[in-house]
Amino acid sequence: MLVFIIRRLIQSVMVLLVMSLLVFAGVYAIGNPIDVLISPDADQLERARTIAAFGLDKSLPEQYWIFLRNALSGDMGRSFAFSTPALALIFERMPATLELAVCAIVMAIVLGVPLGLWAGLRPDGIAGKSIMAVSILGFSLPTFWVGLMLIMVFAVQLGWLPSSGRGETSLLFGIPVSFLSWDGVRHILMPAMNLALFNVALVIRLTRAGAQEALLQDYVKFARAKGLRNRRIIGVHVLKNILIPIVTVIALQFGSIIAFAIVTESVFAWPGMGKLIIDSIRVLDRPVIVAYLLLIVTLFILINLAVDVLYSLLDPRVRLSEAKA
């Protein structure tokens, strides 16, 4: 396993290097932040001084080399708009996004797996058909529309939940979290439900398909012939054997939630990384945009590595030494 992890880490460094070049070239070649950050009434001397201060007077290869050299020491540049390190800005907003993503994934697992099992074990029942119908809605409804409907129903008409913000936070191991207070829980419920809807539908369909396939396998028939209880057959023989695709999808969706929570964070004014990147794009804050995209790439690399390791734990037949890199 150690050799596998080292090999994957070396490959990850190469992927990050290529992605940094693509991201840097794509972001830095489009638009001019000086037009946004400097007043149109500024004279040429002030414009030249600001361009030199941001390092935009150099050619693109020179800018990339400076960025790469600084990135190797952990410096992803300073924000044009806030004049603070880009990584510091992102890490400041990261706990809010991670908390939202974890809540959404927990909802997807807690709701999706039992409902998917129910639909898979009783596909012809009214409950099973209703569950599948709801899962289709989860795939079909746009995230922004669902978010607005949640606000209209639970915040405007019923007045049960607040419509925006993060609410009261408390420190947990030095990290601000909102789920430790009732006000924070009330604020996170709607955005977490909005993010979880698609993932609940996805987990339901995966679990249902896996359960129906597992029920036809010989080991399940043999377990029934031995007289094992139905609960043990489902919990040990069925659920354990359908966990690999579910774990894979949930892990990748966790990364997707973090990367693409922008819409939900904008609708609910959730102070996370998504809202930060939207604000940065508006003012062409290049260091923040590049640092955010590279951080997301790193996150997906780590998630894929974690999934490969989990494979070997869930299924002894999977050997990391034989896995494809």
Identify the CA nearest to 92 among candidates 35, 40, 166: 166
Q: What is the pTM of this model?
A: 0.78
Beta strands in 138-192 (DSSP E): 170-172, 175-177
d(CA 91, CA 85): 10
Q: What is the pLDDT of residues 163-220, one digit of tens each?
A: 888 888 888 877 888 888 888 889 999 999 998 888 898 888 888 888 888 777 777 7
Backbone conformation region of residue 169, classed left if phi is above 0, alpha if psi is from -120 to 50, else beta: beta
Question: Does residue 300 or residue 316 have the better pLDDT?
Answer: 300
Q: What is the DSSP letter of 242?
A: G
Distance CA 47, CA 294 (A): 29
Does residue 110 contact residue 186 with C-beta atoms inside 8 Å? no
Least confident of 6-15, 33-42, 121-130, 263-272: 33-42
| pLDDT > 90: percent of the chain | 5
Token pair 């049960």 is found at 160
pLDDT at 129 over 80: yes
Interval 45-57: pLDDT, tens: 777 777 777 777 7
> For residues 127 and 133, what is the distance between their CA atoms, to the nearest angstrom?
10
CA–CA distances in Å: residue 192 to residues 63, 71, 75, 165, 226: 39, 33, 32, 13, 43
CA distances (Å), origin 206, targets 51, 84, 114, 256, 258: 52, 44, 12, 17, 21
CA distance 174 to 179: 14
pLDDT tens digits along 238-268: 777 777 778 878 877 888 888 778 888 888 8
167 — phi, psi (to 5°)? 80, -170
**What confidence score (pLDDT) does residue 314 get?**
63
Number of H helices, E strands in the chain: 14, 2
Coil/strand/helix, residue 298: helix
Name the average pLDDT for the chain.
Answer: 80
Confidence check: pLDDT of 323 > 50: no
C-alpha neighbours within 13 Å on the C-beta side of residue 130: 5
- Helix 286-314 and helix 2-28, axial crossing angle in degrees, nearest 10: 160
- What integer pLDDT is reported at residue 315 of this predicted model? 62
Q: Which of 305, 244, 263, 243 is nearest to 100 (CA)?
A: 263
For residue 64, give the 3-state DSSP assignment: helix
pLDDT digits (tens, 9 = 90+) for 137-156: 888 888 888 889 999 999 99
pLDDT band for 18, please (50, 70, 90 cuts). confident
Question: Which is higher by pLDDT, 2 or 114?
Answer: 114
Q: What's the length of the chain?
A: 325
Asked whether the predicted pLDDT for residue 116 surpasses 80, the reply is yes
C-alpha atoms less than 13 angstroms from C-alpha of 132 in its C-beta half-sphere: 17
Q: Running DSSP on this structure, what letter comes out for residue 285?
A: -
Instruction: Convert 303-319 to b/e letters by CB count within 10 Å (16 or more is b).
Output: bbbebbbbbbeeeeeee
Contact residues for 137 (Cβ-Cβ < 8 A; gap 6+): 201
Chain segment 293-315, per-residue pLDDT in tens: 888 888 888 887 777 777 666 66
> Which of the residue ranges 155-159, 227-231, 278-282, 284-288 would you say has the lowest mean pLDDT?
227-231
pLDDT of residue 263: 85
**Selection from 19-23, 33-37, 195-199 with the highest mean pLDDT:** 195-199
pLDDT at 322: 47
pLDDT at 35 (0 to 100): 67
Examine the pLDDT at 324 and tell me if it is beyond 70.
no
- pLDDT classification of 89: cutoffs 50, 70, 90: confident
